[in-house]
Amino acid sequence: MDVANKILILVRTTPLADVKKPTQGLSLFYTDLDRSIVKVTEIPKMGRCAVDSNVVFFEDWKVPREDLIGQEGDGFKMIMHGMNAERVLVGAEALGIGYAALRRASVYAKERVVFGRPIGQNQGIQHPLAECWMNLEGARLMIYLAGRLYDEGYMDGEYANAGKFMAAEAAFKAAERAVMTLGGMGYAKEYHVERYLREATLARIAPISAELIKCYIGQRVLGLPKSY
């Protein structure tokens, strides 16, 4: 965002009073980022520093009509189509972090010798790591399924959401277990697992929280009443 000269924005072009649902009347624009009007301020973060995040503030910003993408009022529908792909992508990123953490923990558990034996020989170390692998593999299969369905044109979001949820939880647990496996050294930057734990946290929050995913599954899959 610090160097971007274009921005994709979702804009309300029809007043709420004139639509049946809040998701209607929204339009998508790809337009010039006018920095004389738009204020962009970077947010310092605990992780994901390779990609900056920003607060974007604007008021009375006029966007040319010719920068409209698709049909007026169809913006939310187009954004939602991209969100399924985003969930698959974020889930896949989380899996990479989880497997990296599990690999470092396993290597350490084989090499770290205490009382004449590697700590990985102890079931108290070995079993949680084995469980992390099973969780990651289960999430990987769900992510693969969600990706295949998206490629085939499937529009609903239950598999993309479920895959993202499962991958985020599995990655966080693997990173947490890696820190615990390394003990005090897991808290040190030298072994990187503390960084994996910080990075894995984001996938549980964005682009959608675990709670909203459960609401989606409860309502859209299980047929339960809308809870929010």
What tokens were used for 110? 């084989």
Evaluate whether residue 1 is within a structural domain.
Answer: no
Low-confidence ranges of the chain (pLDDT < 50): none
For residue 226, being part of any structural domain is answered with no
Domain with 20, as residue range(s), is 6-69
Interatomic CA distance for residues 173 and 129, integer angstroms: 10
Domain boundary among 69, 104, 124: 69
CB 207 within 8 A of CB 86: yes
Residues 39 and 122 grouped into a single domain: no
Task: Classify residue 227: in a domain, yes or no.
Answer: no
Verify that 129 and 24 share a domain, yes or no.
no
Residues 29 and 105 in one domain: no
- At residue 1, the pLDDT reads 65
Identify the pLDDT of residue 211: 97
Report pLDDT for 48: 87
Same domain, 18 and 40: yes
> Does 174 lie in the same domain as 196?
yes
Distance of CA 173 to the CA centre of its chain: 15
In angstroms, rounded to a whole number, what is the distance separating the alpha carbons of residues 146 and 121?
Answer: 37
Residues 86 and 39 in one domain: no
Task: Provide the token pair at 43.
Answer: 């947010």
CATH number of domain containing 216: 1.20.140.10
Do 95 and 142 reside in the same domain of the chain?
Answer: yes
| Total structural domains within the chain | 2
pLDDT at 161: 97
